[in-house]
Structure 1
Amino acid sequence: MSDQLMVAAPLLRYDNLSISFGSGRREKFAVKNLNLEIGVGERVALVGESGSGKTLSALAPLRLLPEGAKVEGKLIWTPVSAKQTQLTPSFTPESTDLLTLSEPAIREIRGRDIAMIFQEPMTALNPLFTIGNQIVEAVLVHEPLTSKAECIEKAIALLRKTGIPEPERRFYSYPHQLSGGQRQRAMIAMALACKPRLLIADEPTTALDVSLRMQILELLIELQAEAKSDQGMSILLITHDLNLVRHFAERVAVLNQGKLMECGPTQQVFEHPENSYTEALVNSEPVRELLPVMPLAPVLLSTDNLHVSYPGSKSGNPLQLLSFFKKPPRHTVLKKVQFELRQGQTIGVIGESGSGKTTLGMAILGLLGDSAAEVGGAVNVLGNDWQVLDSAARRSLRSSLQVIFQDPFGSLSPRMTVLQIVSEGLDVHFPNLSASEREGRVLDMLKEVGLDRSALQRYPHEFSGGQRQRIAIARALVLRPQILVLDEPTSALDVSIQKQVLALLTELQKKYNLAYLMISHDLAVIRAMSHQIMVLKEGKVVEFGETEALIAHPKQAYTKQLFTAAEMT
């Protein structure tokens, strides 16, 4: 797209947009005088550190800002088609300031003209409705004359197009029955249901493995190409994945503390950044600084023939009621997994979305026992067979085996202060500590992760994503565990904060001789943090070996494909 076309009729223009919270001396600007244009059919990326104002800038056009946000400036929406602009360059379209529209008027635009893919699918999807019904609902709201059967067919087609396996079966799945990557793809399907003019994608590939990232990028580009002959679809991408930006965006805008630092063609910004902040951001890469594992280091965690299965869900055409009366076979998601994790060692687990990575972590933690899952095989924790221990014995071991979850916001109670969150485990495992002793331990651990006393009485929503993850790390380490399961600990963080958190985890491992089981779809993170790599596919371990050797010489075609995709995104 030429500059002349973009300037002549931008689809969306941020005109001195400012977003602040509080008033008087306590007023804090999250976004300050943002000026940015998104042209018809253009792909623009918005990047910056956690807390820089990216997501608030994305929420503003849909008027979905948090309560208490004060907005100044304009958001000029000009719904001109690509065809009109190309055929009649002098055409002057009607423009609307989205900030002045009534609530009914903005609801007409949400989902139909401007759609959004949210960063945290588990909190954005309704847990009480199936994935299929939520997509159907999105279509019926804006296309009420469409029949239910047509909506179902459209929903299944979108699920298939976004790469969800067995879309007819997944149509009936609830959000909690999908992996993180599958939930994200379902959200993408929902956002695309009404063919929006502007797609705002807030970390759309955060929970996806590298091969699926490529699929989603190709899908978005394909859909954009399909719409180009008619009205065109523009994409505003918010992401911390700079490799993704490099391969996807035509222009990139860099935010820092709510201010626009730099904006220009992607190649120019990456190769010749004008701002020192942009240069530091572009050069942020995880650094491998691991200590070697001691030859006689004791085995802290091991599994033998570990397998997990779930009840099967309905399959076939959802319009055929006969499928409701058949009991489907159980679905096996983990098959005969075995490994040994030693003191001071990190084993990285990598594989496509739905390969069983998170299920492996939850099975080891013993967090599948109350669900419909059937767990078989052995899990040995510090010399104890986890599967045969009673609840009291397990509870006593839990202080030695902790977890850091993928979604720091969803895993921290919004009703508890940081002091209450971090000290909760101490209340259970060290009940004899006095209140002052508990607070002292909490404060010491917060300092370890880079936070200070001012955080104690604050709530999770008052912190950025990187800070919330530091709180989650403090909560796990305050119990002085020997083993940590890290389930995508940096997937929601931008590259500079990711680098800081990984450096923190490396330093803590050296200091306390911790053993990590790190689950990730990010090969760069796995390479920087892991002594060994386990590759999962459809619940099976297809390859296992020393990190550098395995990356340099993968034996399986699946592993080669995974690593090749990682280099391209």
Structure 2
Amino acid sequence: MSSPLLRYEDFSISFGAGRREKFAVSHLNLDIGVGERVALVGESGSGKTLTALAPLRLEPESAKASGRILWSGSAQQGGQGDGAPRDLLSLPMQDIREIRGREIAMIFQEPMTALNPLFTVGNQIVEAVQVYQPLISKADSMSAAIELLKKTGIPEPEKRFHAYPHQLSGGQRQRAMIAMALACKPRLLIADEPTTALDVSLRLQILDLLKELQEESKDHGGMAILLITHDLNLVKHFAQRVAVLNQGNLMEAGPTKKVFQHPENAYTKALVNSEPVRDIAPVMPLAPVLLKTDNLSVSYPGTESTTWFKSAPRHQVLRKVSFELKQGQTIGVIGESGSGKTTLGMAVLGLLGDSAAQITGVVDVLGSDWQRLKPVERRAMRSSLQVIFQDPFGSLSPRMSVMDIVVEGLDVHFPNLSATERELRVVDILREVGIDRSALTRYPHEFSGGQRQRIAIARALILKPQILVLDEPTSALDVSIQKQVLALLTELQKKYNLAYLMISHDLAVIRAMSHEVMVLKEGKVVEFGDTETLIHHPRQVYTKALFAAAELS
């Protein structure tokens, strides 16, 4: 490439000094051309986000950057970015502030933390418009903001203009972030995991939207996009070139098709081949039913205004959901955000009883009606029904050691065990999940994401449950770690004949783990059946769209 828009030259970021200096990014050389789509992929800790933040000088204050980041997109000479390249690492902060937003814009991973909760979405986009066009009138800036919302595909943009971030869905918030980023018509858009919190269908919509907006940008020079992600399917769909980082080092870079079909580096090969493997044992013909729901419905009080004579209609989250989960079986539950997946899991676990939820129908756990059990009876049965949550770091107490975390269930359900017996059981179950005895005195922050999830699995398994509810158990993990955790869950299911209710929006995970799949939409079961049959021959339009978005059909 003769004249890249952005060039990293021998770029490094380190923390500490002397012998304690650690490089998060080491001697990176990477070019991004005008109008090009480049993806930067790698596992957590590979240096992707630091690489993305550096051009805008948003890296942590404790970080030490070296090398050069050359920017050729400045419009100060001639208006079309034809000035000499400038080193962003050596520019004064006043000049960097002029470049932020106007020339290089960024979409952050979590829009709820990036958007100001005290201002409407419209006001925040108007602010970005006025930065680009300081002489524009208030009325014209509002019109421009609404037009940007319309371009991003948000329904009823005039109405959403006056909404606060918490009043929008995850996909709508991400679209609002894109509208803000595009308000200044940047030459380079950096998108840091812009689709992580979104459903598969929304992920493709967002990336297709970025492609369309990039095409429209050709009128003012063409916008380049740097996508930071660990979702390899999205990279295949979106990027023209891909660069692979591992522990701060560039492993491989090249055209996307070439890197995925003929990877040269061993790490890249492992990353490309990290798709979950289906290796589940068949369910025994006469396996007993361990968990059953019959016409399970859940509703919450309505949010509309009420009168003395009429109360607001209740909001129905689940609508007459029925299924049977057998010993040794996994049922996967899929659907978009708001479809009722998590509510189903919480209802099965009996964790909605103290809320404003109204529950009707039957939840049968090991032959007992869960709703009719007394609190003491339900507590006694909890050892048979355990849960593994989405975020292993959030579900483990930072103030408790691994020993305290894993033994807590034994203290509640088996108080008569001696201290020696409790420790032996903890050591045995940690060994089962691949954690060494030396971890007993350590704390959650000292472990990787995959190790923390293994500790969470050990905490659930030490009570010898028969049923596990898995609520997005791998969504917070990198693809290679995800594959290891799923292999572990498969092995444990075979060994202990466990029943899994697996809730996920990752259809590759569902395909690898599930015997049957339940498809939820707006609280209703729209399709239910054998996993392979459903994937290859879906009957409902909604199911077909979900599988097509995940490139599984």
TM-score (norm 2): 0.85
One-letter identity of the residue aligned with 1:552: H
One-letter identity of the residue aligned with 2:231: D
Deviations 1:3-57 (A, max 9, x none): 23xxx142x3333333334444444333222222223332111112343232333
Distance 2:111 2:401 in 1: 24
Alignment of 1:112-151 (within 5 A): 113-119=103-109, 124=113, 129=117, 133=120, 136-137=123-124, 139-140=126-127, 143=130
Counterpart position of 2:484: 500
Alignment of 1:186-201 (within 5 A): 186-195=173-182, 197=186, 198-201=188-191
Counterpart position of 1:345: 329
Distance 1:221 1:51 in 2: 28
Distance 2:46 2:130 in 1: 37
Q: From 34, 44, 54, give the equivalent of 2:48.
A: 54
Deviations 1:486-528 (A, max 9, x none): 2222223333222212111101111121111112222222111
**Cα gap change, 1:353 to 1:446, in 2 (>3 Å):** same
Compare 500-509 and 21-30 and name the one that shifted more.
Answer: 21-30
Compare 237-246 and 146-155 and name the one that shifted more.
Answer: 146-155
**Cα gap change, 1:65 to 1:481, in 2 (>3 Å):** farther
Distance 2:4 2:268 in 1: 28
SS of 1:375's equivalent in the other structure is strand
Distance 1:408 1:108 in 2: 40
SS of 1:355's equivalent in the other structure is coil
SS of 1:555's equivalent in the other structure is coil
Counterpart position of 1:319: none
Q: From 357, 370, 376, give the equivalent of 2:341.
A: 357
- The reply to whether residue 31 of structure 1 matches residue 19 of structure 2 is no
Q: CA deviation at 1:313?
A: 4.1
- The reply to whether residue 239 of structure 1 matches residue 226 of structure 2 is no
Deviations 1:430-461 (A, max 9, x none): 44555665554444333333333454454444
Alignment of 1:1-40 (within 5 A): 3-4=1-2, 8-10=3-5, 12-40=6-34
Q: Is the 8 A contact 2:121 2:163 kept in 1?
A: no
Distance 1:229 1:82 in 2: 18
SS of 1:554's equivalent in the other structure is coil
Q: From 363, 368, 376, give the equivalent of 1:379.
A: 363
SS of 1:32's equivalent in the other structure is strand
Q: From 480, 483, 489, give the equivalent of 2:464.
A: 480
**Cα gap change, 1:429 to 1:507, in 2 (>3 Å):** same
- The reply to whether residue 44 of structure 1 matches residue 34 of structure 2 is no
Q: From 425, 430, 433, give the equivalent of 1:449.
A: 433
**Cα gap change, 1:80 to 1:71, in 2 (>3 Å):** closer
Q: Is the 8 A contact 2:72 2:83 kept in 1?
A: no
Q: Is the 8 A contact 1:419 1:457 kept in 2?
A: yes
| Higher RCO (C-alpha 8 Å, min separation 6) | 1
Q: Is the 8 A contact 2:24 2:46 kept in 1?
A: yes
Alignment of 1:256-275 (within 5 A): 256-275=246-265
Counterpart position of 1:225: 215
Q: CA deviation at 1:245?
A: 0.7
Distance 1:461 1:19 in 2: 23
One-letter identity of the residue aligned with 2:30: L
Compare 549-558 and 458-467 and name the one that shifted more.
Answer: 458-467
Counterpart position of 1:285: 275
**Cα gap change, 1:138 to 1:162, in 2 (>3 Å):** closer
Q: Is the 8 A contact 2:110 2:194 kept in 1?
A: no
* Structure 2, gaps ≥5 residues long: none
**Cα gap change, 1:113 to 1:147, in 2 (>3 Å):** same
Distance 2:529 2:56 in 1: 48
- The reply to whether residue 544 of structure 1 matches residue 532 of structure 2 is no
Counterpart position of 2:196: 206
Q: CA deviation at 1:206?
A: 2.7
Q: CA deviation at 1:567?
A: 1.7
Distance 1:134 1:48 in 2: 32
SS of 2:551's equivalent in the other structure is helix
Compare 273-282 and 432-441 and name the one that shifted more.
Answer: 432-441
**Cα gap change, 1:74 to 1:401, in 2 (>3 Å):** farther
Q: CA deviation at 1:155?
A: 7.3
Q: Is the 8 A contact 1:406 1:492 kept in 2?
A: yes
Distance 2:200 2:475 in 1: 12
Counterpart position of 2:512: 528
**Cα gap change, 1:276 to 1:517, in 2 (>3 Å):** same
One-letter identity of the residue aligned with 2:283: V
Q: CA deviation at 1:310?
A: 3.0
Deviations 1:135-194 (A, max 9, x none): 64465377477899988887777777666678758975775x87xxx4255134224314
**Cα gap change, 1:68 to 1:471, in 2 (>3 Å):** farther
Alignment of 1:175-190 (within 5 A): 175=166, 182-183=169-170, 185-190=172-177
Alignment of 1:384-395 (within 5 A): 384-395=368-379
Q: Is the 8 A contact 2:106 2:181 kept in 1?
A: no
**Cα gap change, 1:129 to 1:231, in 2 (>3 Å):** same
Q: Is the 8 A contact 1:253 1:264 kept in 2?
A: yes
Q: Is the 8 A contact 1:307 1:337 kept in 2?
A: yes
Compare 526-535 and 426-435 and name the one that shifted more.
Answer: 426-435
**Cα gap change, 1:154 to 1:291, in 2 (>3 Å):** farther
Q: CA deviation at 1:368?
A: 3.0
Counterpart position of 1:318: none
Distance 1:281 1:342 in 2: 34
Larger Rg: 2
Q: Is the 8 A contact 1:262 1:278 kept in 2?
A: yes
* Structure 1, gaps ≥5 residues long: 316-321
SS of 2:347's equivalent in the other structure is helix
One-letter identity of the residue aligned with 1:247: H
Q: Is the 8 A contact 2:154 2:175 kept in 1?
A: no
**Cα gap change, 1:338 to 1:428, in 2 (>3 Å):** same
